[in-house]
């Protein structure tokens, strides 16, 4: 195996592309009317807008509905390893991206933080400590 590209259902393709380009520096690899492939470095996402609304299911939703956690914490949709989580955290705070969990050292040996994208997906960014 070489690479992973999850496909996420989104409410609005254009708004999602804008979020990832402006806030996280993603580039468009391919874009159609309701589907796009975006990437930055070795991180690739496939995003699809469906004609019917309210079908997206960020992991947080079933976590909450099942009673696993009351606020959906630890229900990441993606964990992305970065060179320096502190630098990215500062950059995203300046861009006023919604921080879901502040940066901290974790019990599993990483320093990481979480953001929420414009569709409610939770992305955790971290590096080994």
Q: Is 85 left (phi over 0), alpha (psi -120 to 50) or beta?
A: alpha
The share of the chain scoring above pLDDT 90, in percent, equals 73
For the entire predicted model, the pTM comes to 0.88
**Is 90 exceeded by the pLDDT of residue 109?**
yes
Residue 78 lies in a domain: yes
In the chain, DSSP assigns E strands to 7-10, 27-31, 35-40, 43-49, 78-81, 99-105, 110-116, 122-128
* 76 and 125 share one domain: yes
Is 128 part of any domain? yes
Q: Say how many C-beta atoms besides its own lie within 10 A of residue 122's C-beta.
A: 23
60 assigned to some structural domain: no
State the CATH number of the domain containing residue 2: 3.10.180.10
Answer yes or no: is pLDDT of 99 > 90: yes
Encode pLDDT of 14-73 as tens digits.
999 999 999 999 999 999 999 999 999 999 999 999 988 777 778 777 777 777 665 656
């Amino acid at each position: 195996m070489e690479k992973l590209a999850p496909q996420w259902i989104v409410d609005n393709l254009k708004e999602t592309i804008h979020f990832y380009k402006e806030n996280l520096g993603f580039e468009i690899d391919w874009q159609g009317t309701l589907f796009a492939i975006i990437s930055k470095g070795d991180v690739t996402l496939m995003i699809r807008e469906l004609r019917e609304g309210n079908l997206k299911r960020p992991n947080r939703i079933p976590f909450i509905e099942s009673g696993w956690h009351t606020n959906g914490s630890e229900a990441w949709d993606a964990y992305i390893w970065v060179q320096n989580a502190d630098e990215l955290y500062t950059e995203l705070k300046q861009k006023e991206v919604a921080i879901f969990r502040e940066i901290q050292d974790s019990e599993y040996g990483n320093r990481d933080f979480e953001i929420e994208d414009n569709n409610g997906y939770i992305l955790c960014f971290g590096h080994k400590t």
